[in-house]
Amino acid sequence: MNRLIHLTLLSLFLIGCRSYIKIGSVKNNVCKSLEKKTVLFAVFVDSDRTHPWSAYDINSTLDSIQVSIDWLEKQAVANGISLDIILEHGINASKDSVIPFKEKFKYESLSGTLFKYKDLTKGIDLVDAWSDNVSKDVARSLPKDTSELVLTKNKLNNRERLIAKLRNQYKTDNIALMFFINNYFENEISVAFHTSSGTEIEYAIVSKKQPTVIVHEFLHLFGACDLYLSPFDHGVFPRLKKRRVMKRYPNEIMAFTHKNLDSLNLSPLTKYLIGWENQLDKKEGRFLVNRRRKVLEY
Ligand SMILES: [Zn+2]
């Protein structure tokens, strides 16, 4: 049985504004609201301890991504949201135009690297460096770009350069960068990084092919948060809040990744976080803020 751990490094940094609270992942970073023209840019990566991507693996994963996209667009229509998701993927031009890129994880696997040190930030830095190295190769494989789009003031890393190029190429701001690894360890994780960050570009690494997992990680990039109980949830109240949400929304995709995609949907909480609703009922908002406060209306 596969052990599926989803870890969202989502520190909901809260910015106080009177009694209204802005949630850090909402309308933030590269992937703001999930609407209009959006590019899901998939990058297939081989590393030492993953199975090499075969043409069959890549094609079946692309099919799975397309199923995920179709489901999301159907949900958008049902919610009156205009959404057009375009699936694109990197092609490793330096290797006779084969698709996968190659980059080793520092400590054998994604989870081995991420959890190498007690201090999780060290592991995140190592995985960031991995994604940055891949991004450098991907950016090189794209057509030359003369735009001078600078996303952060201080430094421009390879992930930022790649995003700037993709934004210019596809003429949209919404670029969801997703790395796919061909799972070797049965218990490998899928994870989204920097979804609340103001300085680091968010991205996801997906180690599964199930559309439910792909949609789940994709939604993280647009601000959704995990609604299932994980070993990373500490404290009685946060755990209680999650249990309540799971009970209230038994088909919520951010809570139940083992279920079939067709049986799942989006709760008001997720719709608010990805920008499909501009306000959240006070009762629903209690998952995010305490009862004296309200989440910001956008
Ligand atoms: Zn998650």
Q: How far apart are CA 14 and CA 289, in angstroms?
A: 9
Q: Which amino acid is at 88?
A: E
Residue 84 CB coordination number (10 Å): 14
DSSP assignment letter at 265: B
Q: Which of 5-19, 78-92, 129-143, 235-249 has the lowest mean pLDDT?
A: 5-19
For the stretch 145-197, pLDDT in tens is 766 555 554 556 899 999 999 999 999 999 999 999 998 666 799 999 999 88
Averaging pLDDT over each range in 34-43, 157-166, 231-240, which range is the top one? 34-43
Task: Look at residue 150 in the predicted model and tell me its pLDDT.
Answer: 53
Average of per-residue pLDDT values in the chain:
87
Q: Which amino acid is at 243?
A: R
DSSP assignment letter at 98: B
Task: Look at residue 250 in the predicted model and tell me its pLDDT.
Answer: 96
Q: Which domains does the chain have, with CATH numbers?
A: 6-295 (3.40.390)
Q: How far apart are CA 179 and CA 114, in angstroms?
A: 15
How far apart are the CA of 233 and the centre of ligand 1, in A?
12
88 contacts 163 by C-beta, under 8 angstroms = no
How far apart are the CA of 140 and the centre of ligand 1, in A?
30
How far apart are the CA of 18 and the centre of ligand 1, in A?
30
- Region 197-214: what's the mean pLDDT? 93
How far apart are the CA of 297 and the centre of ligand 1, in A?
24
The packing angle between helices 158-170 and 120-141, to 10°, is 40
How far apart are the CA of 230 and the centre of ligand 1, in A?
10
How far apart are the CA of 224 and the centre of ligand 1, in A?
8
Q: Which residues does residue 46 pair with via DSSP β-bridges, in sequence order?
A: 102
